[in-house]
Structure 1
Amino acid sequence: MPTDTKEGFATKAIHAGQDPLQWSHCSVVPPLVMSSTYRQDGPAQHRGYEYGRSGNPTRNVLETCLAAIEGGKYGFAFSSGLGATTALAALLDAGDHIVCCDDVYGGTNRYFRTCCSKNNIKITFTDATNIKNVVNSIQPTTKMIWLETPTNPLLKIIDIRAVIEAVRAIRSDIITVVDNSFVTCYFQKPLEMGADFVIYSLSKFMNGHSDVIMGAVITRRDDLEKQLRYIQNALGIVPSPFDCHQVNRSLKTLEVRMEKHMANGLAVAKFLESHPHVEQVFHPLLPSHPQYELAKRQQTGHSGMVTFYINGDSHKFLKALKIFTLAESLGGYESLAELPSVMTHASLTPEARDSLGINDQLIRLSVGLETESDLIADLDQALKASQM
């Protein structure tokens, strides 16, 4: 069914791209189309699909839904979040320059430093919570600004609108990208704040079941849509139809999941902030957060992400956890805990980790959908074990 911009988030997530009348059998749940190729009526005469890399009905359903809930015009699904990053970087030419926020997913940092650099694309990492840092980092060859907010793992909040306005006042041709993986389009809409692209690791909250690796990009720009659609096909970093079917299913419960993630995450953050074995807690909805007021203006809520410095032995703490699982990734229904310094951000240089404060006392939690009291009890006993 067509969606109206006035429709609520859950309505769009459930119905956008899902019209049963688009299939002759009128299936309410869009079919999983696994075919890698399609019969043609004549040479180069097809009915919208010719080869699975170039297009797939199941993938198209997902991309339509993603664009609708993001408030975008075009959606693109990729085989991973880093696949989506690779596709956006392919918009650039050798000699171009990217300004990237300093506290960013370790895989993004690694890709920019070790892969883009081989193509003579230069990167400047800077603390984008200070707009002057971004402005001062712009060079004549700068073609892209890469923001991640909240950041990973320190949950810094970057003023999306202010950064983009400052950049556009200098040059209108610079492409702006916002990684929205930590809060999703349910809590934050970067396109409405002027971003050219929103990028996701769909593996995280958007899918929410820890059973899919996939990425996505959404935009409103007609000119960039044509370029990125070409890149998606030419590079071939597309997801499987089955994974697209899984994520399309998961989006239907995104609103209710994010509300529960927020409630549990905030309860955990408040508990940790009052605990004697915790030194400092990072959560955008805590008044103690440095960008608390900005977070309230820019986001309508927060996910289950909580980061803190432990006053104790982090290894003992992590090994003592019973409900929280020691594992990388985030955003699933199950609660996870990790040590970024040796796990998700191990690929950063030691100097970069030191400058950001990513040390062996910093713990990142992805608070899931379990019973709140059970999560708090688990953290409490593990914190006590960290002192033994």
Structure 2
Amino acid sequence: MSASESLKGKLFQNVDLDGHNLPPSPAPSSPRNGRKYALATELVYTESSDQYNASSVPIYQSATFKQTSGGGGGEYDYTRSGNPTRTHLERHLAKIMNARRALVVSSGMGALDVITRLLRPGDEVVTGDDLYGGTNRLLKYLATNGGIVVHHVDTTDPEVVKAALTPKTAMVLLETPTNPLIKIVDVPTIAAHTHSVNPAAVVAVDNTMLSPMLFNPLDAGADIVYESGTKYLSGHHDLMAGVLAVNEPALGDKLYFSINASGCGLSPFDSWLLLRGIKTLGVRMEKQQANAQRIAEFLQHDCGFRVRYPGLKSHPQYDLHWSMARGAGAVLSFETGDVSVSERIVESARLWAISVSFGCVNSLISMPCRMSHASIDAKTRAERNMPEDIIRLCVGIEDVEDLIDDLKRALVQAGAVTVTMNGIRALSAGTPKDAAQESVEQGQQIAADGFKEPEAAGTAPEQ
């Protein structure tokens, strides 16, 4: 051993210089995808090589590719079927999603559409009673026009799901946490029940609410994972994309066939944008989760609202969520008890943009029953216990104190809270109308003057 090697060994005796015994990753490494570093590192580390050794993956903005012979035979010929930029993105996604194969399409709903093309007339689908509005719309269309039988059940109870399973069940479609009621689904148990009843049935999990940073449904027994790349994966709401991931090669081939046949593959430029966004997923999610936790605690503990967020120990499925996931995500919802009050809160917000969707760097506020879930009729929403007054918050990366201050002002202006010497508290559902109106008028005056924290008792006002 040379002197330099000996010195290196002494200086770095506790460092794994060769990478043989790396520390455990938040999302464990797997031989099937070649990942060897912590997930936050792998998100950034993209292996690419071209003749110029470009640091960034090139955008192959070409519809066609020249062939070397009359019989073709090149790796790429037409971008609908494949493109080098898209391929690089898909390989990177497979690595971070702990999958053997990943595929990308033009939207999250496009990904679900590709999955449902596995179904045939007469097949049965078991899914939840708290679904994204677009998912509900597509399933309703398939049930009406495609001969598919859809069963909506409470997927938070594995026994209820098990009772709905039959040999005709071809697919079980799950979301966790659900949107917007933030209910948690026991993916491992339901996947086991499904495969015991019908080994050929496909368990598909929408992981958009958590992203690969926080949950790997394939490791929990799912057959297909799909996500809207528009949300956390991209992070900036400047593209539309959908992602699918599988471990079974034959299943991946079937999905690819539908993508190629229908022409819904992601464009080269959007593939490049998504690849760029993925690199910052770790830092964005960390900040968004921290902000969401603070805001959830403010709304529940300081204000007294009923808040739905798996980061709160009051969540009835707190333990189940943390048995599967590595974080709580950055979407939460709360109820005011009054639709008109909720409307005023949403419209009074300034920093919080009124918008559908989630997962971007800026914070969003909405009333799902009026926006993202409006395609579900009021009768069905009532049957599924979806409160009309529910407000959904999709938390971004802004300074959390600014976000809380903006919410305080909106809550006061809307008359949703009373201002006391000890802070602000949510009005109860039984508050008399005249008192509620007085609170609204008080809030409007405070909004006009500018919100100020009430002074503590016995404190002299500042001069």
TM-score, with structure 2 as normaliser = 0.81
Q: Aligned pair 1:307/2:337, yes or no?
A: no
Aligned residue type for 2:141: T
Partner of 2:160: 133
Give 1:115 deviation, angstroms: 3.6
Aligned residue number for residue 291 of structure 1: 317
Q: CA deviation at 1:311?
A: 4.4
Could you tell me whether the CA contact under 8 Å between 2:205 and 2:224 is conserved in 1?
Answer: yes
Aligned pairs for 1:253-332 (under 5 A) are: 253-276=280-303, 279-311=305-337, 313-332=341-360
Q: Which residue pairs with 1:62 in the alignment?
A: 89
CA contact (8 A) 1:279 1:311 kept: no
Give the CA deviation at 1:139.
2.7
- C-alpha offsets along residues 235-274 of structure 1, whole Å, 9 cap, x if unaligned? 1112221111111001101111111111000100000002
Q: In structure 1, what is the equivalent of residue 42 of structure 2?
A: 12
Q: How many residues align?
A: 383
Q: Which letter maps to 2:230?
A: S
Seen in structure 2, the aligned counterparts of structure 1 residues 380 and 311 have a Cα distance that, compared at 3 Å, is farther
Q: Is the 8 A contact 2:309 2:332 kept in 1?
A: yes
Whole-Å separation in 1 of the counterparts to 2:71 and 2:283: 45
| Helix, strand or coil at the partner of 1:186 | coil
Match of 1:81 among 83, 91, 108: 108
SS in 1 for 2:89: helix
How far does the alpha carbon of each residue in 1:338-380 deviate from its partner, in whole angstroms, 9 at most, with x for none?
1100100001122221123333310011000000100111111
Q: Secondary structure at the match of 1:187?
A: coil
Could you tell me which amino acid in structure 2 is paired with residue 296 of structure 1? W
Deviations along 1:9-66, whole A, 9 cap, x unmatched? 12222224x322xx11111100011101111112342421010100011111111111
SS state at 1:322 partner: coil
Which residue in the other structure is 1:360 paired with?
Answer: 388
Does residue 43 (structure 1) correspond to residue 73 (structure 2)? The answer is no
Are 1:110 and 2:141 an aligned pair? no
1:198 and 2:228 equivalent? no
- Contact between 2:231 and 2:237, CA under 8 Å: does it hold in 1? yes
Contact 1:340 1:358 in 2 (8 A): no
Distance 2:413 2:389 in 1: 15
Rounded Cα–Cα distance in structure 1 between residues aligned with 2:335 and 2:270: 36
Question: Sequence identity, in percent?
Answer: 34
Alpha-carbon distance, 1:315 to partner: 1.3
Q: Is the 8 A contact 2:169 2:198 kept in 1?
A: no
Aligned partners of 1:44, 1:111: CA distance in 2, in Å?
Answer: 41
SS of aligned partner of 1:274: helix
1:303-326: per-residue Cα shift (whole Å, max 9, x none)? 210111024511111111011000
Counterpart CA distance in 2 for 1:214 and 1:4 is: 25
Which of 177, 180, 184 is equivalent to 1:153? 180
Could you tell me how far apart the structure 1 residues matched to 2:394 and 2:91 are? 28
Per-residue CA shift, 1:115-166, capped at 9, x if unaligned?
Answer: 4531111111111010111111113321000000011111101011111112
Letter of the 2:144 counterpart: S
Contact 1:73 1:219 in 2 (8 A): yes
Tell me the equivalent position of 2:238. 211
Task: Give unmatched runs, 5+ long, in structure 2.
Answer: 1-30, 416-439, 441-463
Distance across 2 between alignment mates of 1:352 and 1:273: 28
Asked if structure 1 preserves the Cα contact closer than 8 Å seen for 2:167 and 2:197, the reply is no
Question: For 1:199, what is the secondary structure of its paired residue?
Answer: strand
- Cα distance in 2, alignment partners of residues 345 and 200 from structure 1: 18
- The residue aligned with 1:223 is 250
Cross-structure match for 1:142: 169
Q: 2:7 is matched with which residue?
A: none
2:404 equivalent to 1:376: yes
1:24 corresponds to which residue?
51
Higher RCO (Cα < 8 Å, 6 or more apart): 1
Match of 2:429 in 1: none
- Return the offset for 1:292: 0.5
Distance 1:308 1:63 in 2: 37
TM-score, normalised with respect to structure 1: 0.96
Match of 1:34 among 36, 58, 61: 61
Report the 3-state secondary structure (helix = DSSP H, G, I; strand = E; otherwise coil) of the residue aligned with 2:134.
helix
- Kept in 2, the 8 Å contact 1:285–1:295? The answer is no
In 2, Cα distance between equivalents of 1:287 and 1:143 = 36
- Secondary structure in 1 matching 2:212: helix
